[in-house]
């Protein structure tokens, strides 16, 4: 259960980073 929770945290962190990167790309267009 703890490992599963850690994977969710990691996934949320990565998705947040991807969204931030996408927004930066959109602003630079």
In the chain, where the domains are located = 1-29
The first and second tokens of residue 16, run together, are 């947040």
| Amino acid 1: pLDDT | 62
- Cα angle at 12 between 18 and 14, to 5 degrees? 35
Decide: pTM greater than 0.75. no
pLDDT tens string 1-29: 678 889 998 999 999 999 999 999 998 88
The first and second tokens of residue 2, run together, are 């703890």
| Amino acid 14: pLDDT | 92
| Amino acid 5: pLDDT | 87
Q: Tell me, what DSSP letter sits at residue 29?
A: -
Residue 22: φ, ψ to 5°:
-60, -45
For the chain, give the number of residues.
Answer: 29
């Amino acid at each position: 259960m703890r490992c599963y929770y850690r994977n969710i945290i990691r996934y949320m962190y990565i998705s947040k980073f991807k969204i931030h990167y996408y927004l930066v790309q959109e602003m630079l267009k």
